[in-house]
């Protein structure tokens, strides 16, 4: 009797295919945060906070963070071509034109973000970034000291496909080191040495994250991440039995999901085409069909209960009517 030795590998290959399918992620772009604190230390906290936030956001499998340098380099190239006459005095004398210049730069930022494939753009501000020390006792005999830190961040979310603001989120971290550093006979404590050498630690490093300032920053960023995850969420499972492509028109498609399926503009779906037959090696019975990923689409217009228009993000020329769509 022949052993059905091929059935197991076929089944396993199907599981591997499904497990390795790429998630139709939301691409998150983060620009350097504006510093409102007057910080004048050695760290570049504007870029550093953005990188730290990006690292945290990237832990969510639904998000794909666009490298911050990809955006900043494009912005730097844009800034190297300033418009003539747009000096500080010009802006002071002609405030309407200054506002127009700001609006124009905002549009340019949006254009750059779209070209880099950004779905959600985050711009933010640093409203507090401080560490303070409390000391008590006699300086040359004995005393104690404690440290506290306060970090406050604000982030604005904008959906790039239609420019819609998705809201403003905030994060606040307040940490007080309750482990009082004792000092005897004027000797500098380990806590004081850590406080004085804080700027020498690389921003975002593991060493910095162990300090009160690092813990406060981590807490504020964690709050931003949590609030982002409440706003930018994966689309729900469609209610229709077989979500599919209805019509393809150049770079756009129509799909049979819409208002009643709970989708939103900007939602992405993977598109699959039917592949080769999979047969039982012994009986020859057709067990099913392999799937071949054809591309990714993004909803741009919701028209009816079960009808929407989408743009092709990946797979132009490969996506056909009848292809299935799904969230992975």
What are the chain's domains? 31-66+117-231 (3.40.50), 235-326 (2.40.10.410)
Query: DSSP string spanning 42-60?
Result: SS-HHHHHHHHHHHHHTTS
CA distance linking residue 159 with residue 191, whole number of Å: 44
Cβ atoms within 10 Å of 306's Cβ, excluding its own: 17
Q: Cβ contacts of residue 12 below 8 Å, gap of 6+?
A: none
Q: Residue 140: what pLDDT? A: 46
Contact between 292 and 220 (Cβ < 8 Å): no
Would you put residue 185 in left (φ > 0), alpha (ψ -120 to 50) or beta? left
How do residues 54-101 score in pLDDT, each as one tens digit?
999 999 999 999 999 988 888 777 666 555 444 444 455 556 666 676
- For the chain, residues with pLDDT lower than 50 are 1-22, 84-90, 138, 140-142, 184-186, 188
Q: Residue 95: what pLDDT? A: 60
Distances (CA, A) of 140 to 136, 137, 145, 163: 12, 9, 14, 61
CA distance linking residue 290 with residue 224, whole number of Å: 41
First to last CA, the chain: 40
Q: Residue 170: what pLDDT? A: 98
Contact between 96 and 85 (Cβ < 8 Å): no
Q: What is the pTM of this model?
A: 0.77
CA distance linking residue 271 with residue 293, whole number of Å: 6
Q: Residue 16: what pLDDT? A: 33
Cβ atoms within 10 Å of 217's Cβ, excluding its own: 28
Q: Residue 110: what pLDDT? A: 85
For residue 262, give both structure tokens.
């709970």
Burial class (CB in 10 A: 0-12, 13-18, 19+), 271: buried
The 3-state secondary structure of 141-190, one letter per residue: CEEEEEEEEEEEEEEEEEECCCCCEEEEEEEEEEEECCCCEEEECCCCCH
Q: Residue 280: what pLDDT? A: 87
Place of tokens 């217009």: 301
**Quick one: CA dihedral 42, 48, 224, 302, positive or negative?**
positive
- Three-class SS of residue 265? coil
CA distance linking residue 256 with residue 264, whole number of Å: 14
Q: Cβ contacts of residue 119 below 8 Å, gap of 6+?
A: 26, 27, 28, 159, 160, 161, 266, 268, 298
């Amino acid at each position: 009797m022949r052993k059905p030795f091929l059935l197991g590998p076929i089944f396993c290959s199907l599981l591997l295919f499904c497990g390795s399918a790429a998630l139709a992620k939301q691409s998150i772009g983060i620009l350097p945060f504006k510093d409102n604190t007057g910080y004048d230390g050695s760290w570049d906290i504007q870029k550093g906070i953005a990188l730290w936030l990006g690292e945290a956001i990237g832990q969510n499998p639904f998000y794909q963070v666009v490298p911050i340098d990809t955006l900043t380099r494009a912005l730097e190239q844009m800034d190297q071509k300033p418009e003539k006459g747009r000096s500080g005095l010009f802006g002071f004398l002609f405030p309407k034109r200054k506002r127009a210049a700001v609006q124009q730069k905002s549009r340019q930022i949006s254009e750059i973000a779209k070209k880099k494939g950004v779905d959600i753009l985050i711009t933010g501000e640093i409203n507090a970034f401080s560490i303070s020390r409390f000391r008590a006792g006699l300086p040359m005999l004995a005393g104690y000291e404690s440290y506290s830190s306060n970090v406050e961040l604000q982030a604005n979310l904008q959906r790039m496909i239609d420019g819609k603001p998705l809201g403003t989120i905030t994060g606040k971290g307040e940490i007080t080191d309750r482990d009082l550093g004792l000092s005897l006979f004027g000797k500098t404590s380990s806590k004081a040495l850590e406080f004085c050498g804080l700027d020498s630690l690389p921003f975002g490093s593991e060493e910095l994250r162990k300090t009160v300032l690092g813990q406060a920053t981590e807490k504020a960023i964690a709050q931003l991440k949590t609030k982002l995850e409440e706003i930018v969420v994966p689309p729900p499972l469609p209610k229709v039995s077989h979500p599919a492509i209805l019509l393809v028109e150049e770079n756009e498609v129509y799909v049979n999901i819409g208002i009643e399926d709970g989708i939103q503009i900007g939602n992405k779906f993977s598109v699959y085409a039917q592949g080769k037959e999979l047969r039982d090696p012994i009986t020859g019975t057709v067990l099913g069909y392999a799937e071949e990923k054809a591309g990714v689409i993004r909803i741009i217009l919701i028209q009816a209960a079960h009808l929407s228009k989408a743009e092709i993000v990946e797979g132009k020329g490969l996506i056909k009517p009848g292809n299935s769509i799904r969230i992975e």
